[in-house]
Structure 1
Amino acid sequence: MDEWATRVAAVWADAGNRPEPEVEAAIESLVAERPDDAVAIFELAGVRDFVGREAEAEPLYRRALELGLDEPQHGQAVIQLASTVRNLGRPDETLALLRDEFAEHPEHPLADAATAFAALALADTGAEREALVAALRALAPHLRAYGRAVTAYADDLLG
């Protein structure tokens, strides 16, 4: 991790202990050092989300992805963009973003996180049962004693 990324990580590590405007100002200051950098733009999008300005975050996430992000930021940006558009009232777009990015990569380290956000979007569309099934299927592999049973019950929910 380079020195700039270390400073960004320090701001986020302390974000819960600082007023939101202070966190935003700190990230903005760091982003100003790298105005055309995909990772910096991703961080700016994240802080806009953090302070509840999702409409401002959305184009920033899209720009960061367009400029090109390596993992793990690429997957994080897709998930955060998907969450943002969900919060903006577009759950179908959330599902499309997550499906396009993660459907063919179930081994992706963020696949379970993507499933969690997909489950939220499914619930927003009125598909609560499908949301529960998605969440249970993502959880099941992490259950040593009951994973197989939870998977079977999830399958049963869809009849």
Structure 2
Amino acid sequence: MNSFLAPFKDSHLIKIFISIIAFLYAFIMNAQVEKSSDLYKIPAAKDSILFERTFNKCEIEKLDTLIAENFEFYHDVAGIQNKEEFNNAVKNNICKNPGNMKRNLVSESLEVFPLKNNGVLYGAIQKGKHTFQEKQNGIFKTVGIANFTHVWILENSQWKLKRVLSYNHLPYTE
């Protein structure tokens, strides 16, 4: 067998061919949807409502329309919360002093992956990074960064946030 492969050992053509195959395999295996697709835009818009409206502007009533009844939130610092506990945490912690905290999506970090059952779309996984800012002396200062993964599920033709992983919370350094 060694003698059969020996002529190809130093072949640039074989190396190029293998590189092309590896590139195409990586491209095909990446199931992230295009940023111009509706499936990308829907969770991105929901993310904006979730954080811009409820976290940044403390419009807590918006949470009920976004979050599934059996919602679960897993946080690497604050633990596990259900829908009621999460709503109370937003209300009593983040929105205790409205306008003093902000969450910002890290540009270009958002990725969306479809969830299908026998070819039928039933949800999406959304992941990315976000930074957190606190108002200090009247100016917002970025104090932290973290990763997030959201599972959005279609329930009665409505997108609902069902599971959240919020992890790798670190102090922010530029």
- The TM-score normalised by the length of structure 1 is 0.24
Looking at CA atoms only, which structure, 1 or 2, has the larger radius of gyration? Answer: 2
Normalized per residue, the structure richer in helix is 1
Question: Which one scores higher on RCO, CA 8 angstroms, separation ≥ 6?
Answer: 2
